[in-house]
Amino acid sequence: MKIHKAIILAILTQLFLPSTVNADELRPPCRLQISVAHLSTNLFENSQIRAVKVNASSICNVPQSNVTITVEIWKTGFLGNHLVWRQTTRNLGTTFPGYRVNNFSTYKNCLNGTPTNYYGVSYSKALIDGRWHYARHVLSEKIILLKCGT
């Protein structure tokens, strides 16, 4: 008797519930990822530059072209937050699905060791299937206190 009920339930489920959707269909075609603000070890090791840095990447599961990624470094302040630096990277070619377009060049030199709270903001645009797609402003996951006055 239990087997008959299970079979009937399975048949009814297939008839009345929508078919399952592939995970790739649920995922947006592109996403913009941004790192938290950090002191760049690469700049310090290679050029002896102390700098606050924020990285961002655009990742698509479809071909994208003419990608523009802008990264901004912001610091918190008593009378509001302040833009410290903005850098835009352009990739005019076409990228394959799964390929990242990176903006790893946004940094601002530290002038002193004053503790300061930093965060990043990023936005982008790309040509996908003949139409422009825009990624709205994405903020860093955290505001980070760094010994880097700008």
pTM, 2 dp: 0.80
Q: Residue 12: its pLDDT value, please? A: 43
pLDDT of residue 29: 77
What is the predicted pLDDT for the residue at 10?
A: 47
pLDDT tens digit sequence for 11-31: 444 544 444 545 445 556 789
Chain-centre distance for alpha carbon 20: 29
Residue 5 has pLDDT above 80, yes or no: no
Residue 96 is classified by DSSP as -
Instruction: Give alpha helix (H) positions in the chain.
Output: 2-16, 23-26, 41-47
Q: Which two tokens stand for residue 32?
A: 């913009």
Query: Quick check: 81 pLDDT over 90?
Result: yes
Radius of gyration (C-alpha) of the chain in whole angstroms = 23
Q: What CATH number is given for 29-149 in this structure?
A: 2.60.40.10
Per-domain residue ranges of the chain: 29-149
Q: Determine the pLDDT at residue 66.
A: 96
The beta-strand segments (E) located in 76-111 are 82-95, 100-109
Stretch 124-133: mean pLDDT: 93
Q: Is 148 exposed, middle or buried (0-12, 13-18, 19+ CB in 10 A)?
A: buried
Gap between the Cα atoms of 125 and 6, Å rounded? 50
Do β-strands 30-34 and 51-60 pair in parallel, antiparallel, or remain unpaired? antiparallel
Q: What is the mean pLDDT of residues 52-80?
A: 95
